[in-house]
A = this chain, B = another copy of it.
Amino acid sequence: MNQPLPHYQRLKAFVTGEIEAGRLRPGDRIPSELDLIKRFGVSRMTANRALRELEQAGAVTRVQGVGSFVASRKTEQAMFEINNIAEAVRAGGQAYGCRVIRLAAEADPAMAAFMGLAPGERYGRAVLLHLADGVPVQHEDRCANLAFAPDFLTQDFTRVTPYDHLMSLGPLQAAEQVFEADLPGADLARLLQVTASLPCIVLRRRTWSLNMVASAARITAPSSRYRFSGVTGTVPPAGLGLPRL
């Protein structure tokens, strides 16, 4: 029925498997072409193709004369930085915190339709406030497809962000995003501890995984405390030294 995988695909799967299992970490040296030849009994061209395609896919970095290494970050960057707010806060040297405002199963028909569910079908909803050094930086109103994330409502979001939990359940397939600017409104302004006249950036996002809508989120951030950024494509080497935006 299903024919055997091509050799080069097996080699790719082997390497990516080692990476995903954590046995190879970013920066680690991965097996050289010669290693793969001896281990799998393939020709060098086949090993070369496997590693070359992994490089093109951004999973590994190759340096002539030196070797091949696990690349630092991966697919997510292609998705316009589906940002892990906890990681972003910590990267800035601040302490990350999270306050759960609301966590429940809901069934608003409009939202159900938006998520591709049957009218009235229940989904998980989490309203969170993300803090950096105790100061609110993001308000997150997230709806999760319980068919995709059945344990969503029993997660401790002060320890694992919704992003982390959802990403652990399946590969990100697609993301739809809309950026808007808006005033926070009285309730949000109070939660975010800003004046109601401070512009906030609003990101509405819907993500697909395993061929279904995995979750939808509305993220509001005071413009003075957070901004969304991303790079798509490959910036040429000369671009690396440029001052950042």
Give residues in A with beta carbon < 8 Å to B.
Answer: 53, 56, 75, 78-80, 113-116, 172-183, 197, 199-204, 206, 208, 211-213, 223, 227-236, 238-239, 242-243, 245
Contacts and interface: CB of A to CB of B under 8 A. Distances in A.
Contact of A113 (B173, B182, B235, B242): B242
A34 B204 CA distance: 46
A235 B176 contact: yes
B200 A232 contact: no
A200 B201 contact: no
21 contacts: A53-B56, A78-B232, A80-B80, A114-B243, A173-B234, A173-B236, A174-B232, A174-B236, A176-B230, A176-B245, A177-B229, A177-B230, A179-B201, A179-B203, A179-B229, A180-B223, A180-B227, A181-B200, A181-B201, A199-B199, A208-B235
A243 B113 contact: yes
B180 A230 contact: no
A15 B218 CA distance: 41
